[in-house]
Copies of this chain bind each other. A is one copy, B any other.
């Protein structure tokens, strides 16, 4: 039953793994983490938290210690079962991991993913996009299906879409190289790499 689209649940567990949080704060962080489009609504989040409570992945800890703020809030903590579920899901490098809706979330939690799983997810994602490109390139050239061949705007839209996907493929390739380079360097002790992940200044 919990095999399909547990994206939201997983993201919540991922955040709670770092620190307990209440719903309102959770929503803000989820919007930063997942959402480059629509914002998550409360009507989506709170019922999800209820489901997760019932599943035993999280527990309510009504903020009893009015330390910083005396505002009462319902704080959620991850349970050992929740940690296990998160670990299991995040470790799975199957199709679910490289679908459009899930990939970004999986990527965001890559720090808690082993190197080989990271690599397989990145490669699976690239494969998926590559297939999409192949389909697009073969169905496009002959004649637009929109009646007369080659509506200017339709053509331009498709050109831009293809370019966007190509760009993402290049990005993934760089990341894959970096992952492989990282592994190789770990193995042979070489700190250099051209395709490194940009590290934050510190």
Chain A interface residues (CB < 8 Å from chain B) = 15, 18-19, 28-29, 32-33, 36-38, 100, 104, 107-111, 132, 136, 139, 145-147, 149-157, 159-161, 164-165, 167-168, 171, 175, 197-200, 202
CB of B198 within 8 A of CB of A156, answer yes
Q: Is the interface of A mostly helix, strand, loop or mixed?
A: helix
CB neighbours of A167 from chain B (8 A): 164, 167
Q: A32-B145, A100-B37, A161-B36 are in contact. Are A108 and B154 (CB under 8 A)?
A: yes
CB of B153 within 8 A of CB of A107, answer yes
Q: A38-B100, A157-B104 are in contact. Are A152 and B19 (CB under 8 A)?
A: no
The chain B residue sitting closest to A18, CB to CB, is: B147
CB of A111 within 8 A of CB of B36, answer no
A23, chain B: closest CB distance, angstroms: 15
Q: A36-B132, A100-B37, A197-B152 are in contact. Are A15 and B157 (CB under 8 A)?
A: no
Q: A152-B197, A155-B200, A157-B104 are in contact. Are A28 and B110 (CB under 8 A)?
A: no
CB neighbours of A29 from chain B (8 A): 145-146
CB neighbours of A139 from chain B (8 A): 32
Q: List 17 A-B contacts (CB under 8 A).
A: A15-B146, A18-B146, A18-B147, A19-B147, A29-B145, A29-B146, A33-B154, A36-B132, A36-B165, A108-B154, A111-B152, A111-B154, A152-B197, A155-B198, A164-B164, A164-B167, A164-B168
